[in-house]
Amino acid sequence: MQGVSSLDELTAVRDKYLSRQRGVLALEMRKLGSLPSAERPAAGQLLNRLKGVVTEELERFQEELKSSANAVRLKTEFLDVSLPGFPYPEGKIHPIRRVWREMEEIFVRMGFSVETGPQIESDYYNFEALNIPKGHPARDDQDTLYISDNLVLRTHTSPVQIRTMEGKEPPIRIIAPGRVYRRDAVDATHSPMFHQIEGLVVDEGITMADLKGSLEAFFQQLFSPDTKIRMRPSYFPFVEPGAEVDVSCIFCSGKGCRVCKGSGWIEILGAGMVHPKVFSMVGYDPEKYTGFAWGMGIDRIAILKYQVEDLRLFFENDIRFLSQF
Ligand SMILES: [Zn+2]
């Protein structure tokens, strides 16, 4: 069997000697017929013994070949299962979506339910019902992306207030997060698409103190338990009175720093008491019900929370930026 190193070669050897048609032993067997009858039995026995020895030897050698092939495989295909694995790139939730979820979770814990509305909105829901009649500066072509005379890409999440109030009676306690659109050129602090969370609470006896308390409780959970808020008089057509709401600077705790420009406060949202005209539009009795509403930018909160200086980074979706969150 020297010179045989594979099972294929072994098969060739087996065929050469044992093949029923052309094998050496078969040919010898056939020659038996030409021997004198006295010699045939002895020659036959001899050939049969030889066949037995050859068969046995081939089988033994086949086993040897198989086990040495296994030994080679075990050596070359060895896998150390105790080695550390290859690192896998991991998907992350977009930072805007993370902040969105976090804000939503806080409000839901406070008893608010989540409402949504269409991003393509009618003039009525985006403006008219929110006490922004035709000719009002807030619906200037400069700010609004019109789809047709009567359809716009919503400029705020406030239309969801109207849709919610049309659909049910007070008490109402909702937030409405979503995308909004303005005709703004892209720069570090502006984007034609951004995100807001609208809030609306309507019931009997709701006051501005409830507005302040709700927002303060929210920001203390979002930022830190010692966060304070303050309100400054402001004007929005759908509230009366209206207010700008500032939070104490989350970077210097109110002492004054670069982010808050030394004031200790950061301007963060617009809010106010729902205008009686808005209640009338949805069929609520303004003598019976009062309520408050706000709209705040999710992107603005994300900028503060993650100390990102350029809004564009959130929307360019560069994986090197996004993988840091
Ligand atoms: Zn500061």
Percent of the chain clearing pLDDT 90 (strictly above): 58
Q: Are residues 150 and 258 in the same domain?
A: yes
How many whole angstroms from 94 Cα to the centroid of ligand 1?
26
Predicted local distance difference test score (pLDDT) of residue 224:
92
Q: What confidence tens digit (pLDDT) does each residue in 208-256 have?
A: 999 999 999 999 999 999 999 999 999 999 999 999 999 999 888 888 8
Q: Are residues 293 and 193 in the same domain?
A: yes
How many whole angstroms from 228 Cα to the centroid of ligand 1?
13
Predicted local distance difference test score (pLDDT) of residue 142:
62
> What gap in Å lies between CA 132 and CA 237, rounded to an integer?
6
Q: Are residues 277 and 172 in the same domain?
A: yes
**Would you call 17 exposed, middle or buried from its count of C-beta atoms within 10 A (0-12, 13-18, 19+)?**
middle
Q: Are residues 105 and 226 in the same domain?
A: yes
Q: What confidence tens digit (pLDDT) does each residue in 84-105 have?
A: 988 888 888 999 999 999 999 9
Predicted local distance difference test score (pLDDT) of residue 141:
61
Q: What confidence tens digit (pLDDT) does each residue in 30-55 have?
A: 888 888 888 888 888 888 888 888 88
How many whole angstroms from 308 Cα to the centroid of ligand 1?
15
Half-sphere exposure of 17 toward its Cβ, with a 13 Å CA cutoff? Answer: 17
Contacts of 22 (CB under 8 A, 6+ apart): 15
Q: Are residues 18 and 167 in the same domain?
A: no
Predicted local distance difference test score (pLDDT) of residue 1:
62
How many whole angstroms from 222 Cα to the centroid of ligand 1?
17
How many whole angstroms from 224 Cα to the centroid of ligand 1?
14
How many whole angstroms from 275 Cα to the centroid of ligand 1?
33
Q: Are residues 70 and 107 in the same domain?
A: no
Report which secondary-structure segment, H or E, holds 9: helix 7-18
How many whole angstroms from 250 Cα to the centroid of ligand 1?
7
Q: Kindly indicate the confidence band of residue 207, based on its pLDDT and cuts at 50, 70 and 90.
A: very high
Structure pTM? Answer: 0.72
Tally the domains of the chain: 2
Q: 47, 76, 105: which is the final residue of a domain? A: 76
> What gap in Å lies between CA 146 and CA 123, rounded to an integer?
9
**Using H for helix, E for strand and C for coil, what is the string for 72-120?**
HHHHHCCCCCCCCCCCCCCCCCCHHHHHHHHHHHHHHHCCCEECCCCCE
The range of the structural domain enclosing residue 120 comes to: 97-322
- Residue 82 in any domain: the answer is no
How many whole angstroms from 266 Cα to the centroid of ligand 1?
8
Q: Are residues 104 and 61 in the same domain?
A: no
How many whole angstroms from 53 Cα to the centroid of ligand 1?
97
How many whole angstroms from 311 Cα to the centroid of ligand 1?
19
191 bridge partner residues: none
Q: What confidence tens digit (pLDDT) does each residue in 135-158 have?
A: 888 777 668 999 999 999 999 999
And the tokens for 157? 């999440």
How many whole angstroms from 248 Cα to the centroid of ligand 1?
8
Q: Are residues 70 and 117 in the same domain?
A: no
- Residue 87 in any domain: the answer is no
Q: Are residues 71 and 121 in the same domain?
A: no
How many whole angstroms from 113 Cα to the centroid of ligand 1?
33
Predicted local distance difference test score (pLDDT) of residue 66:
85
How many whole angstroms from 225 Cα to the centroid of ligand 1?
17
E strand map for 78-235 = 113-114, 120-122, 151-153, 172-181, 193-203, 229-234
Q: Kindly indicate the confidence band of residue 124, based on its pLDDT and cuts at 50, 70 and 90.
A: very high
How many whole angstroms from 267 Cα to the centroid of ligand 1?
11
Q: Are residues 40 and 141 in the same domain?
A: no
How many whole angstroms from 139 Cα to the centroid of ligand 1?
34
